[in-house]
Structure 1
Amino acid sequence: MRKFLWQGSSGRGYAKVSWLQVCKSKEEGGLGIRRVVHMNQALMLKHLWRILQEDTQSIWVQWILLHRLHNQTIWTYSRSTTSWCWKKLVKLSTLLKAGLDYRIGDGRKFKLWTDLWHPREPLLHSFPRGPTINGLPSDSLLMTVLQHGRWNWPSVTDFDIQEIISCLPNIFPQQPDTIIWRSNAGKFNTAAALSLLQPPSPHVLWHRILGGKFKIPRHDLSFGWRYLDVFLLWTGPG
């Protein structure tokens, strides 16, 4: 793609603008070309999202929950004897984490020690002694420490437990546990994932020249965009 953009059929030429700039939207001063690596990651994150939602309509998701994760979550999965593809998919969960918001409801879905509902992330990572000290198994649901819409943790004087209790999130009683996306009105899609992977940049003032009423002809679009981008880069907005 780079060679086609800068060299064409001649096979000669060099890149005048960075590829990162090319892949920005037209409003941001680019050509709106999607980076293949980001597009691939966004589609993979969509698979992880479906796993988190425990999609009952997907046979693949149900198989993953039963045969891969068992009583674990993607946040605490640590088995080494598994496929290369699955390892790569789980590794991408670190990217997905930044866009998620866990809303605690009745506690019947979220796992107490292995889900991402607490500010300290999965408690099993930050507090591995928790299940033993509290007498709550590692596969316990969050409902075991909820009562009548309020927190009801066991009376334990351990310092780590007290730290966990000191920063507990809000509860939304009479609602099921839900995972929402922090932007895009709480809905996850490929576009939302792409925005996470490549955060938006400020819009450039000259992008309207390349479209709208005074639209530059298609065969001159690349030249006009390149001229404006490079010229303003060297001269500045003033």
Structure 2
Amino acid sequence: MAHRDWEHGIQWAASRWRGKHVVNAAFRSLLASLVYHIWQERNSRHFQQRSRPPSIVGMLVVEEIRQRIISVPLRHSICSLGLFRLWKIPWPVEGPIDEGGLGIKDILALNRALMSKHLWAVIKQDRTSIWVDWIIQVRLRDCSIWTAKENKGAWGWRKMLSLRNSLMSHIHYRVGSGESVSLWHDPWHPLGPLISRFPRGPQMTRIGPLDKLSAVIKDGQWNWPFITDIACLEITHMLPPFWRARTESFGSQRMDPQHLNCL
């Protein structure tokens, strides 16, 4: 009789807790956790002669479901609020007031934004900042911010470097004279930093690893040496066009902050 009731319960749950609704997903997790802990308790009693009170097993199941709900980034909605209340989970304080939050900003997102702002100052080489000038002279030296190793330096510096990939997709270089841009280490090329894709590029092209982009520019045109390595031919096949400012707006029109001049 118990076996039949169990099968009936499984069929009922399978028919009711379907779809992607957050409440149904939580109940499916509850069923899976319940089966697992019952199976674990059965093995413990059968093979190790150890048992736990049913109340302890129930508390473990409830706590596991709570942790699963907290770990999922749910949208602020009435269903999410009801789910948190059902499982007696404190409602997150961040989020708009009209969505149940307290209007407090997400601290993690705010921290990423502030660190990205500092990283942007280093990328555009804002020498008016003493901190940026120190980073360029001491921390980076002959290295580029894009290829600096993340396993060196203080914790805050390593965290800042970890944001480079997310920031790179929002930054586009415009090729000018190339006197302040590293040929191999800066992402002026559509392929990104060339040294990452072609580690033997300086050796195969006979262009120094610390050379500037101006080394392959002459009279406003590309002037690359003859490349015999097949792998490195991809570099010259995907070269970006040059950017030339209009005469009437040069020096007076501000550039889009999402772009950098290779000047």
For 2:111, the equivalent position in structure 1 comes to 40
Deviations 1:43-71 (CA, angstroms, capped at 9, x unpaired): 00000100011111111101100111111
Q: 1:36 to 1:171 in 2, by over 3 A?
A: same
Contact kept? 1:106, 1:173, Cα under 8 Å: no
User: 1:187 aligned to 2:222?
Assistant: no
User: 1:157 aligned to 2:228?
Assistant: yes
For 1:23, the equivalent position in structure 2 comes to 95
Specify the code of the residue in structure 2 equivalent to 1:186.
Answer: D
Q: 1:155 to 1:55 in 2, by over 3 A?
A: same
Normalised to the residue count of structure 2, the TM-score between the two structures is 0.56
**Partners in 2 of 1:24 and 1:136 — Cα distance?**
54
Deviations 1:133-186 (CA, angstroms, capped at 9, x unpaired): 1111111100111111111110012112211111111111479xxxxxxxxx82
2:129 to 48, 51, 58: 58
Specify the code of the residue in structure 2 equivalent to 1:116.
Answer: P
2:154 to 73, 76, 83: 83
For 1:97, the equivalent position in structure 2 comes to 168
**Partners in 2 of 1:25 and 1:142 — Cα distance?**
51
Shift of 1:30: 8.3
**Partners in 2 of 1:47 and 1:30 — Cα distance?**
32
User: 1:169 aligned to 2:244?
Assistant: no
Shift of 1:13: 6.3
2:214 to 135, 143, 151: 143
**Partners in 2 of 1:79 and 1:92 — Cα distance?**
10
Contact kept? 1:113, 1:139, Cα under 8 Å: yes
1:119 to 182, 190, 197: 190
Specify the code of the residue in structure 1 equivalent to 2:195.
Answer: L
Specify the code of the residue in structure 2 equivalent to 1:154.
Answer: P
Contact kept? 1:76, 1:122, Cα under 8 Å: yes
**Partners in 2 of 1:25 and 1:64 — Cα distance?**
40
Deviations 1:75-116 (CA, angstroms, capped at 9, x unpaired): 111264421221111111122112111111111111100001
**Partners in 1 of 2:164 and 2:212 — Cα distance?**
21
Specify the code of the residue in structure 2 equivalent to 1:78.
Answer: K
**Partners in 1 of 2:177 and 2:209 — Cα distance?**
19
Shift of 1:25: 9.9
Normalised to the residue count of structure 1, the TM-score between the two structures is 0.61
Higher relative contact order (CA 8 A, sep 6+): 1
Specify the code of the residue in structure 1 equivalent to 2:134.
Answer: W
Specify the code of the residue in structure 1 equivalent to 2:117.
Answer: K
**Partners in 1 of 2:140 and 2:188 — Cα distance?**
18
**Partners in 2 of 1:171 and 1:160 — Cα distance?**
24
Q: 1:65 to 1:33 in 2, by over 3 A?
A: same
SS at match of 2:232: helix
Shift of 1:36: 1.1
SS at match of 1:116: coil
Identity, in percent, stands at 35
Shift of 1:34: 2.5
For 1:208, the equivalent position in structure 2 comes to none
SS at match of 2:173: strand
User: What are structure 1's unaligned runs of at least 5 residues?
Assistant: 7-11, 176-184, 189-238
Contact kept? 1:106, 1:174, Cα under 8 Å: no
For 2:138, the equivalent position in structure 1 comes to 67
User: 1:129 aligned to 2:196?
Assistant: no
Specify the code of the residue in structure 1 equivalent to 2:165.
Answer: T
Aligned residues: CA RMSD: 3.0
Instruction: Tell which structure's C-alpha radius of gyration is larger.
Output: 2
